[in-house]
Structure 1
């Protein structure tokens, strides 16, 4: 049901799924506070940078194939391996500037707060986990698929109170200190979670 994409897989379809599923999220609206088509285009372009980085050696992308619809994937999880030295996508600054356009300052603020509060202990970082809205429970199954095979802790930043509660009550994650971080001091809250 689940499979890890090979390193030469196309990043775009995963990025498009992330863009669509996260399109109504508070963080996407904060990062790109323009019209919906612009937001979707810019966020998908930024997600593609990160998905490609995971696919080309910095982590892994695990998917559930779709039985139909616009996306080849029903769900996707984007992981980064932080058991060694962290890496950044090649030409990340210029690629992000192109993707973000006039909204670049907010993308930079997001990166800054993430970097400042990222744990230093070796772990796997779950950067993104999405499932098509009609596939209830598929995201949880996809998460369990990978975490059940890991021998190191997992870190993530939950984007809502609902997802924070889900990670805490169903998946064994604990809140960290500080439990919340906000880009630029007044951006949307991210809930820092750790699974030993």
Structure 2
């Protein structure tokens, strides 16, 4: 198991939103997925701010949002008893937030839904660390915090890795990688990743029995 510095974790609350949206925007601002979604950097920052504010608000209402006491990291988790499609309200809000770029965001959501495991699990939708705090064990601390609870409940976890660097981090934390998938021709690869329950359950990253 990776070693980390001591990082204090707590549940996020609505007053944390402004700081955590900045962390999400800055952490996801660069990379192949960002370049594919919104090529222009100025437009990307504007749209990302609206998008991640929507995603964070949804996580605070419908999921569990963990953060560090200094607000340098954030993890948005959901409990999935089955695949739960986004409701029409969230779909409409996403279109409003992303404007002309909404079709690619919706295409990415459709890709995630198509490969989501059809078994109960906890889903890590977003893990973000302020770029100025990266390399200090913040991401690992957020993962370890959630995994202790999952292991105590003997439950698995699932996520999508958007680049090779993140994929390696998750592999170090016990996730298994499925083959890469793409939203469309020319879209960057995304890796579905599955972490088994503590008793070594038999479900793979695609939700099928091995």
Equivalent residue for 2:168? 165
For the residues of structure 1 that align with 2:177 and 2:73, how far apart are their CA atoms?
A: 25
Q: Secondary structure at the match of 1:45?
A: helix
What is the alpha-carbon root mean square deviation over aligned residues?
A: 1.8
Rounded to whole Å, the distance in 1 between the matches of 2:11 and 2:22 is 18
SS of 2:52's equivalent in the other structure is helix
Q: Name the count of aligned residue pairs.
A: 184
1:94 paired residue number:
92
**TM-score normalised by structure 1 residue count:** 0.86
Q: Which runs of 5+ in 1 are unaligned?
A: 67-72
**CA offsets, 1:120-178, max 9 Å, x none?**
1100110111112232211111110111111211101011112112211x2011113xx
Aligned equivalent of 1:70: none
Structure-1 residue corresponding to 2:9 = 2
Q: TM-score, normalised by structure 2?
A: 0.81
* Cα pair 1:62 1:77 within 8 Å, conserved: yes
Matches within 5 A, 1:73-84: 73-83=71-81
Q: Describe the superposition over 1:38-94 as per-residue Cα deviations: whole angstroms up to 9, x where unpaired.
A: 1011012112222111111x210000132xxxxxx1100011111356253661222
CA contact under 8 A between 1:74 and 1:132: conserved in structure 2? yes
Query: Which piece of structure 1 moves more, 18-27 or 133-142?
Result: 133-142
Higher strand share: 1
Instruction: Indicate the SS of the match to 1:80.
Output: strand
CA contact 2:82–2:118 (8 Å) conserved in 1? no
